[in-house]
Structure formats: C-alpha cells, structure tokens
C-alpha cells in the first residue's frame, strides 16, 4: 500500500474545536479531540450519540447533526480549527480540509474520525505549532 504521509504522526490528545466554513447553514462550534497530530495535520475524533432523539443522531445536542456530518464529510467544506496547545492561553487558529474519514461504534456512541490537512496557519500561530510538534516528537 502506498503511504502518502510526509510527516510522522504523534499520538496525543489535544482539545480542539472546529467550525465548518463555506456553507449556507450556520453550524455552531464543535468540541473534538485529536487522536494524533503531525506538522501537516491532525486526526480529530467527533463523538456522535447513536441513540435516536427526535429521530436524529446527535452531536453535542446540535440541531441538524446529520446535515453537519454531510457538509463535513461529503462536501469537504473547509474547517476553522481552534487547536488548544498548552501552556498557551488561547487556541491556535488554522484552516484545514478533511482528506479522509472513518469510524467505529462503541456502545451508544459512534466515533467519527477525520484526517484534517492544515491548509492555513499564519504567523505566530505557525511558529508555535511547529515548535509544539517538534518538542513532543
């Protein structure tokens, strides 16, 4: 199998939030965690409650969660990322795109995993990201 990865993956959980950009419907910020990171991207995990509530799957009690998942995965809309690295007092801001996805069912939750490629991270945030990744490697 051909390996497309250019950067080593580092297994680390980082609180992150995402917001889908470029869609007519405005979705709230979704809190997720990383499973691993690299200089070029991160693997995020979104927990979806599979218990039907008003005949709809639920992500953090977000209305219209199904449309959110479609916009995220099927239409590959860009994501605004807020990556919370410590000891920073604020999240690093970046823009990324989903390159692949998969998942697994455990109990009443489906854990949707999405590989996100970082398209844009500017200035000081880029420097902090590079230093953070290199220091944990």
Domain spans in the chain, listed from the N-terminal domain onward: 10-132
* Digitized pLDDT (tens) for each residue of the chain, 137 residues in all: 444 556 788 999 999 999 888 766 677 888 899 999 999 999 999 888 776 655 456 676 666 666 667 767 766 778 999 999 988 788 999 999 999 999 888 888 888 899 999 999 999 999 999 999 999 87
Whole-Å CA distances, 30 to 37, 80, 95 = 18, 10, 14
Predicted TM-score (pTM) of the model is 0.83
CATH H-level, domain 10-132: superfamily: predicted glycosyltransferase like domains (2.40.10.220)
Under 8 Å between Cβ of 64 and 26: no
């Amino acid at each position: 199998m051909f390996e497309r990865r250019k950067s080593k993956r580092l297994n680390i959980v980082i609180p992150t939030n995402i917001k889908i950009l470029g869609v007519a419907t405005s979705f709230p910020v979704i809190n997720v965690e990383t499973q691993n990171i690299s200089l070029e991207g991160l693997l995020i995990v979104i927990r979806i409650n599979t218990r039907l509530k008003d005949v709809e799957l639920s992500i953090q009690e977000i209305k219209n969660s199904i449309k959110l998942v479609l916009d995220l995965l099927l239409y590959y809309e860009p994501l605004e990322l807020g990556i919370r690295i410590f000891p920073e007092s604020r999240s690093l801001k970046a823009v990324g795109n989903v390159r692949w996805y998969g998942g697994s069912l455990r109990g009443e939750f489906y854990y949707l995993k999405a590989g996100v490629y970082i398209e844009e991270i500017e200035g000081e945030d880029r420097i902090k990201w590079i230093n953070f990744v290199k220091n944990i490697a």
